[in-house]
Structure 1
Amino acid sequence: MVLCGLHLIALEPGTSVESFLLELRQNGIKPIVQARALRWMILPSRMSEGYLLARNIHWDLLLVLDAEAVIPGNVRSKIHALWSASCGVSSEALSKYAENNARLLNPGPSSVEPPVPHETTPSESSQNLEVSPELNDWISSLPGQLRNHPVSMLNLLAFNPGKRDQYKKYGAEFSARVGSRHGGRVKIVGKVAGGQAMDDGWDEIAFVHYPSVQHFAAMAASKDYQEVNREYRLGALKDTFILCVVEVDDRGATVGNRAGVSREKL
């Protein structure tokens, strides 16, 4: 296991994603992950909500950095708000991350199956990782290229006492029964070891790929997923949040390409 730093960043007004990432590079910092925040899929309900939500902060970026990378003062001056976690992650997963991620973000023609039709009735809310009318409306409102573009979901997890093993069963069932059908691939898993996330009581992170937000919604609306969700996931969690992000290059342009779709700048 190696340590890395996970950072949610809200930029100062007038600071662009492109200029901020350029300054990081000029200071010798190359993020493992750099992604633009799109939307909360699940909001924290008991932990960290005061900082993450109550001050009406618009989060711009998710960065994952090597543990030894320190954001210098001249770059920090461009940050309006920062929420961080130190996480222990498999050294093998990190060493292969760039290669595996490039393959997921740039699939070959016809290698991605279209999202399956929704199999369950929409719920009033998406908080239990179900599809809601509001989520469907948001997806429909996205530009076509972004609606079909690969996304990643940052999951923060806090377990109820004695329920960590139950959540491990959820992970195993997700991989065996659900993930491959809907294009879900776990890219990074880590144990929270420091930072604000540890102070607030979070236990783990998971960073999960989907071919598009439509694939994520199709998964949440599937009968097979909801069986696993209700049996293993919901009772195991004290709190959680899911933030949908899209990975970007140093110019702020989306990284990746689904079946020949061109990039667009967010």
Structure 2
Amino acid sequence: MPICAIHLLSLTPTTTLPSFLHALHSQKPPLNPLTISRVLRWIILPTTLSTAPLLAKNIHWSILLILPTTTPLPPSLTHHIEHQWTIHAGVPSRLLNDFHTKNQKLLSPEGDIPPLTGSLSTPRVSTSSQGLELSPELREWIQSFGETEEGKGAVSMLNLLAFKPGRKEDYLKYGAEFARSIGSKRGGNAKIVGSVIHGKGDDGEGWDEVALAHYPSMSHFADMLASEDYQAVNQKYRVPSLKDTFILCTSEIGLGVDGVGRDGPKL
């Protein structure tokens, strides 16, 4: 099973996103990332695992970079980086085969985006989004973000998962329902899923799985969270199965089909 590196990066104050992308795409040999994303905001904060490196310094994460290699980032990139958090995960080959072509179809669909289901007209709202529910604060941000040019496009949610002992099967039931109906009918697609590799000095200690989930827009994501059908499955299977989790919302930056990245940033 191929091992991929998932890097969260905080750029230095003097490094702009375009300058970092230029440095990234100038590497010889090329790094050929699977995805490059601009980090937008936290959806769910971790509560026990990795809280110090992820949260304690009030770090503003800038970039999510997923690479099909475990080779450390080269010095020509690291001098642009103020903070870095990295985990490694084994990802099934079937998900990585022709990944760039499949991902490009998700990011640039040709008229086949599913309509919203209408759950936002009478949304189910919670006081917090920590249980993957729609909170008033998250709803307000989604509405504001949706008015921007970036907010009209697809988003990708980085999920880190740690399971309670003996409860992974419950999460698998959630995943099956997500793929069968509650997520897929809203355009949700778990395009990268992997088992975290625990090695010496690795940042992922305690985490079990990583997933990168695609949604056609933040409105589709909100439509899912606000719905009774999703929450019935979420509260029955997902929430009770997790010891800890976090979700980061990101907006992918254009990549060519070959993964080299000549389409420019989505800014």
Render the CA deviation track for 1:24-66: whole Å, top value 9, x for unaligned.
2222222111010001111111111121112111000000112
After superposition, residues 63-82 of structure 1 pair within 5 angstroms as: 63-82=65-84
Stretches of 4+ moved more than 4 A in 1?
A: none
Aligned to 2:190: 186
Aligned to 1:14: 14
Render the CA deviation track for 1:213-240: whole Å, top value 9, x for unaligned.
1110110111111111011101100000
Render the CA deviation track for 1:111-162: whole Å, top value 9, x for unaligned.
2133222254311111101101101110122233222210010000000011
Residue from 203, 208, 213 that aligns with 1:203? 208
Query: How many equivalent residue pairs?
Result: 253
Please state how far the C-alpha of 1:68 moved relative to its aligned partner. Answer: 4.5
Aligned to 1:234: 239
Counterpart check, 1:243 vs 2:248: yes
Structure 1 CA distance, aligned partners of 2:109 and 2:219? 16
Q: CA contact under 8 A between 2:88 and 2:196: conserved in structure 1?
A: yes
Give the secondary structure class of the aligned counterpart of 2:160.
strand
Structure 2 CA distance, aligned partners of 1:10 and 1:52? 11
Residue from 128, 132, 138 that aligns with 1:129? 132
TM-score scaled by length of structure 1: 0.90
Structure 1 CA distance, aligned partners of 2:164 and 2:26? 43
Q: Report the AA paired with residue 74 of structure 2.
A: P
Render the CA deviation track for 1:185-205: whole Å, top value 9, x for unaligned.
110100000364432x00000
After superposition, residues 1-266 of structure 1 pair within 5 angstroms as: 1-27=1-27, 28-109=30-111, 111-117=112-118, 118=120, 119-142=122-145, 143-194=147-198, 196-199=202-205, 201-249=206-254, 250=261, 253-254=265-266, 265=267
Distance verdict in 2 for CA 1:144–1:21, change over 3 Å: closer
Aligned to 2:257: none
Please state how far the C-alpha of 1:182 moved relative to its aligned partner. Answer: 1.1
Structure 2 CA distance, aligned partners of 1:141 and 1:68? 38
Structure 1 residues 111-120 or 218-227, which shifts more?
A: 111-120
Structure 1 CA distance, aligned partners of 2:103 and 2:210? 17
Give the secondary structure class of the aligned counterpart of 2:183.
helix
Please state how far the C-alpha of 1:67 moved relative to its aligned partner. Answer: 1.6
Give the secondary structure class of the aligned counterpart of 2:204.
helix
Structure 2 CA distance, aligned partners of 1:2 and 1:121? 40
Give the secondary structure class of the aligned counterpart of 2:159.
strand
Please state how far the C-alpha of 1:20 moved relative to its aligned partner. Answer: 1.3
Structure 2 CA distance, aligned partners of 1:137 and 1:196? 36
Structure 2 CA distance, aligned partners of 1:96 and 1:116? 31
Q: Gaps spanning 5+ residues in structure 2: where? A: 255-260
Please state how far the C-alpha of 1:177 moved relative to its aligned partner. Answer: 2.4
